[in-house]
Amino acid sequence: MSSTEGIGLVIIFIALVLSFGVLYTPAASIFTTVEDSLVDQKDELTDIDNISFDTESSSQGNTITVTVTNTGSETIHFSDLYFIVDGEYVSADASSVDGNTDRSFMMPTEQAEFEIQGNPQSENIRVTHKLDIVEVSEIE
């Protein structure tokens, strides 16, 4: 083997080491991102399994009162709930959680009452959690 061939092999070896270093960083970053996404997805699926609620609603004049009972094992924050009456999103004000007016969440087994200004002719209300958990209640 001549010295020219030896230098060529050294250059090829250095090129391989540099290529590996250049390719390793993005590949490791991609694998970390995928792994983090899978962990987030697993956490969300666990939350879906643990979040559950029942609803009852009644109407008096233009005010619809919706009672939401947390029947799951996770805390439900009011900002995660959406109310739909007659196919339209409506805002709801929480009036109390088991009699307490200063809360913005309900723990398991607690009830929250929401008041909505709506059409007295409405037949039902859909309460949706941000994780697409839905309960429909007929307005009595």
pLDDT digits 0-9 by tens, 44-67: 777 777 888 999 988 888 888 899
In angstroms, the CA 136 to CA 93 distance is 18
Per-residue pLDDT of 77-117, as tens digits, reads 999 999 998 888 888 877 788 778 888 899 999 999 998 88
**Boundaries of every domain in the chain:** 1-50, 52-138
pLDDT value of residue 109: 93
Domain made up of 52-138: CATH architecture: Sandwich (2.60)
In a 3-state reduction of DSSP, which class is residue 98? Answer: coil
Q: Is the pLDDT of residue 3 over 70?
A: no
pLDDT value of residue 137: 84
pLDDT value of residue 69: 93
Distances (CA, A) of 60 to 51, 85, 98: 29, 15, 21
Per-residue pLDDT of 116-131, as tens digits, reads 887 777 888 899 988 8
Residue with tokens 């200063």: 102
pLDDT value of residue 118: 76
- DSSP code, position 139: B
Residues in a beta bridge with 99: none
Kind plus residue range of the DSSP H or E element containing 49: helix 3-50
Q: Is the pLDDT of residue 11 over 70?
A: yes
